[in-house]
Structure 1
Amino acid sequence: MTGGIAHDLRNILAIVESGLRLAERKADQPESVRAFIAAAREGVDRGVELISQLLAFADDREPDLQVRDLNELVSSSGPFLRYGAGPSIRVRLALGSDIPSCLIDQALFDAAVLNLVLNARDAMPGGGEIWIATERLVATNCAQGGPAPGSYARLRVKDHGCGMPQEVLQKVLDPFFTTKGENGTGMGLAQVRTFMQMVGGHLSIASERGTGTTVDLLFPLPEAAT
């Protein structure tokens, strides 16, 4: 888990560094500079939260699960995610209208969604769209490898990138497995899976070579919301 958080922190620091570098280049454009600095400042705030989580895990403390509005979390993360995705990627939000609150650790949630967005970005080197959607979902069967029966708030991240063949898809959640060579750590999706296990949720990935990848995060609802 510690290695995964370090990976997430590296992602955030890369965005902060990029924002400051762009601010230097646009020194004669005050509005642009303010936007870049704001994104960098948000990255610093998220990094501080992740460091707090790292210290908590070092002390064997449980994640800070709270009842949160999923749509609100996604909306507030939107500008930061768009900035992290880069200028050639459009991040689209499709938020459902009847999404119940669910149990989430916000710092770990932010890191997980950033991981998914950066993976989707890397799958579309020529640019494209990433869709982030929320929906209420009721699971009714006990298919092997599927979620337990019950009500969930689903977060879906979908791209139309290069996709993955089945032999890669079977290994993609393994720690340290990467298809990015020296540019990858193999900790991103493994960290997302660990986060979902900690909140009692479910992670599923569907992908097809040449078509794209869809990642679903299912968050359990508090008993009062089911």
Structure 2
Amino acid sequence: MLERMTKDPQAPRLARLAALIADDTRAACLLALLDGRAWTAGELARHAGVAASTLSEHLGKLVAGGLLVEERQGRHRYVRLADARVAHLVEDLAAQIAPEAGQRPRNLRESSAGSAMARGRTCYDHLAGRLGIAVTDALTARRLLVQDTGFALTDAGLTWFATTGIPLDRTGRRPLARACLDWTERRPHLAGVAGAALCRHALDAGWCVRIGSERAVKVTGAGERALTDLLGIDVTTLR
């Protein structure tokens, strides 16, 4: 007789997590919130194409499940991803179901939005798309970042961030550098503390600006000069 095997205690939690994500409306909310910003319930309802009352029920489940956190300011209810781990989970899952090469967009709007997202976007709080890959490759080529056994900043890399005026918060438990699979490029880009700090600096310094209602970002003229001068990036690939 076969011995009864003890069920893994993680199994029920994994099942509940999968059930939370396995809904079109909730998945749409999670993907939208990968831009790293807090959204109102109304904004998410319009984005997901559902009634506000329906969206409220979904948000309640995501908050209760620990995937989102809620903030209130006056009459407005804002939600955002709970932390970077949730963002990485959503992005990694999205990478597994990215459109296959050659799959055509359904209309011009979808084509334009897809092109912009592939060119450059935010992945929660760091840069992704061709822009994120270009930055990662440039840091690696200059031995500021190594990818031998996972992502790690070198001593030269730490110096580069300091001299460029990009402070790195090394007090928390978040990894200083982390590889995040890019779902359009199918290669890892820089995440972690360093990736977040670089993205924040790029937006604050005007190297990049957000465009449209999605996560897409565009490199500005100032950004092209900075990326060329600091990292030798061929900016024509980012246009």
Task: Decide: shared fold, TM above 0.5.
Answer: no
Larger Rg over CA atoms = 2
More strand as a share of residues: 1
Return the structure number with greater relative CO, CA threshold 8 A, min gap 6: 1
What's the TM-score once normalised by structure 2's chain length? 0.26
